[in-house]
Amino acid sequence: MADFFRKHSLLLTAGLLLLSCLQLMSVSIRNPDIPQFGGRMLNAVLAPIQGAYQASTAWARTVWDRYLYLVGVEEERSELQHRIEALEAQNSRLIEFESENRRLKQLLSFSEGTGFRGVPSTVIGRDPSNWVRTITIDKGSADGLRPNLAVVDGNALVGQTTVVNQHSAKVLLVTDVTSAVDVIVQGNRTPGIVEGTGLETLRLRYVPKEIAVPVGGRIITAGLGGVYPKGLLVGVVTHTDGQVSGMFQSVEIQPNVDLLRLENVMVIIPEQSAPRDE
Amino acid sequence: MTRTVLIFTFAALLGLVVQATLVHSLYPAAIAPDFILILVVFLALQYGNSLGLVGAFMLGVAADFASGKFLGPHAAGCIIAFLAVILISRKVYADHFVTVMFLTFFVSIVKGLTYMVMLMVYVRADLFNWQIGRIVFMESAISAIVAPVLMFLLAIGPVGSRLQTARRGLRP
């Protein structure tokens, strides 16, 4: 018996460890806090290194661009002079538009207070795995962040916060396979759920075949579920297929922001949960 | 022993930082080589026993923690990859750098598929498509190119010298 165990110790260990993996997976799906706790610990080690690397590359880029790489600066200066003149002319027109806009807003009783505040953040890292779509940002619980806050770039949805450390946080991108967002098609108000594909595109699900979803149609958040505010732009419909089997059609969406090249994002915090300024 | 564990821990952390930061800053859409898998292949070639297998499992769990989403898929992939390396290295001469490249490429595909199967079983069944297959292939190819260099660095370091001493039957 002892010989058997000695002879097959590797396979027996592998079997035990594989069973542990299955058990870990089941437990982590039921209790997301467990992987998040480990993630926070590991992130606490990795985030400062990522932040330092990001800062040093930004510094090196600045030095290179401003002081070393000066080829064509004279031509660029002359071109910029022309652009300044054009922009000054444009600016005077924009001032007119601004005052007109202000007047129209007053007429429509537009509320400036949206009930949210934004925390601008810099992207300092990405997920080490090619399978998980997350980014690491340089703001954390010290800035009022907590898990399950919407993250945007302009008015376009980027994802939601998951693991939050004191000075960094992980953001699950909408393209991750585990991401799901309640949405509506802006034109005809058809509800659906946008899921990530693990690639650069999204998929709109649970839209019946009878309902026409136009290519080019804008998909916005529905505001359900308490994570994403209503009206954030998720993406644009690029392809629909009503020939697939089942009750629902297949709709492909292109996110409205290039998630591979994100540099700065904004975390949206509901005003009532934001910490008060000292 | 403690020194070897520390070196592997440091190498794993360094690999995670490089994968998460350096590769994407060079080219945003780049597919990063899987340094954790390369460490697993190295472990399997040098420590092809139960202890090495536990080390591979721990590296996989570290990769799972780095993602902060699920525990298990990377770990399972690392265990299967470790076993695949041992099975293959018993049949072929796995010390040559070309063999190491092919070996890394093959086990990286095995690891990628294991990861996908775990997600398909537990998260969503309709996950796999040809584009995901392309990522598996690309990641495996890039890891295979990087693997000989990284293994050379590991082999000439303290881990390698201790192994050579142990192989010659001398007291380390």
Q: Do A172 and B70 touch (CB under 8 A)?
A: no
What angle (nearest 5°) sits at the alpha carbon of residue A253, between those of residues A249 and A259? 150
Beta bridge partners of A251: A204, A240
Pick from B16, B80, B115: which is nearest to A46 by CB?
Answer: B16
Pick from B20, B28, B119: which is nearest to A128 by CB?
Answer: B20
CB burial of residue A10 (10 Å; 0-12, 13-18, 19+)? middle
B165 to chain A, closest Cα gap in Å: 24
3-state secondary structure of A206: coil
Q: What is the DSSP letter of B31?
A: P
CB burial of residue B30 (10 Å; 0-12, 13-18, 19+)? middle
Over residues A82-101, the mean pLDDT reads: 81
Over residues A5-19, the mean pLDDT reads: 87
Contact residues for A39 (Cβ-Cβ < 8 A; gap 6+): A162, A163, A170, B65, B66, B67, B68, B69
- Top pLDDT among A190 and A108 is at A190
Q: Is the pLDDT of residue A238 over 90?
A: yes
Region of poorest pLDDT, from A100-104, A173-177, B129-133, B146-150: A100-104
Predicted confidence band of residue B144 (pLDDT cuts 50, 70, 90): very high
Pick from A9, A53, A162: which is nearest to B68 by CB?
Answer: A162
Predicted confidence band of residue A110 (pLDDT cuts 50, 70, 90): very low
Tens-digit pLDDT profile for residues B67-100: 777 889 999 999 999 999 999 988 877 778 888 8
Helices B158-167 and B130-156: angle between axes, nearest 10 degrees: 70
- Percentage of chain A beyond pLDDT 70 is 92
Q: What is the DSSP letter of A159?
A: E
- The whole-angstrom separation of Cα B163 and Cα B49 is 14
- The whole-angstrom separation of Cα A71 and Cα A36 is 48
Over residues A250-258, the mean pLDDT reads: 90
Residue B146 Cα distances to A5, A67, B104, angstroms: 37, 34, 9
Region of poorest pLDDT, from A35-49, A219-233, B150-164: B150-164
Q: Do B17 and A46 touch (CB under 8 A)?
A: yes
Predicted confidence band of residue A15 (pLDDT cuts 50, 70, 90): very high
3-state secondary structure of A136: strand
Q: Is the pLDDT of residue B109 over 70?
A: yes
Q: Do A260 and B29 touch (CB under 8 A)?
A: yes
Rounded to a whole number of angstroms, the distance between the first and last alpha carbons of chain B is 11
Q: What is the mean pLDDT of chain A?
A: 83
Cβ–Cβ < 8 Å for A136, A125: yes
Q: Is the pLDDT of residue B167 over 50?
A: no
Q: Do B65 and A24 touch (CB under 8 A)?
A: no
- Name every chain A residue with its beta carbon within 8 A of the beta carbon of B11: none
pLDDT at A276: 43
- The whole-angstrom separation of Cα B76 and Cα A22 is 8
Over residues A29-41, the mean pLDDT reads: 80
Cβ–Cβ < 8 Å for B67, A38: no
- Name every chain B residue with its beta carbon within 8 A of the beta carbon of A252: none
Q: Is the pLDDT of residue A23 over 80?
A: yes
Beta bridge partners of B59: none
pLDDT at A104: 65
- Top pLDDT among A264 and A100 is at A264
Over residues A134-150, the mean pLDDT reads: 90
Q: Do B71 and A57 touch (CB under 8 A)?
A: no
Cβ–Cβ < 8 Å for A262, A135: yes
- Percentage of chain B beyond pLDDT 90 is 25
Over residues A209-213, the mean pLDDT reads: 86
Among A164, A241, A259, A173, smallest CA distance to A204 is for A241
pLDDT at B168: 46
- Name every chain B residue with its beta carbon within 8 A of the beta carbon of A64: none
Residue A273, amino acid: S
- Top pLDDT among B41 and A55 is at B41
C-alpha Rg value of chain B to the nearest Å: 16
Q: Is the pLDDT of residue A140 over 80?
A: yes
Among A177, A262, A187, A178, smallest CA distance to A217 is for A187
Cβ–Cβ < 8 Å for A164, B70: no
User: Residue B36 is encoded by which pair of tokens?
Assistant: 């954790």
Tens-digit pLDDT profile for residues B149-164: 888 888 776 555 555 5
Region of poorest pLDDT, from A26-35, A148-157, A262-271, B15-24: B15-24
Region of poorest pLDDT, from A61-70, A190-199, A268-277, B127-136: A268-277
- Top pLDDT among A7 and A209 is at A209
pLDDT at B158: 54
What angle (nearest 5°) sits at the alpha carbon of residue A11, between those of residues B105 and B155? 45
Cβ–Cβ < 8 Å for A131, B128: no
- The whole-angstrom separation of Cα B142 and Cα A258 is 24
pLDDT at A2: 75
Q: Do B53 and A10 touch (CB under 8 A)?
A: yes
The answer to whether residue B27 neighbours chain A at the CB level (below 8 Å) is no
Tens-digit pLDDT profile for residues A75-88: 888 889 888 888 88
Tens-digit pLDDT profile for residues A174-199: 998 888 999 999 888 889 999 988 88
Q: Is the pLDDT of residue A6 over 60?
A: yes
Q: Do B32 and A198 touch (CB under 8 A)?
A: no
- Top pLDDT among B43 and A38 is at B43
Q: Which residue of B has its CA nearest to A169?
A: B68
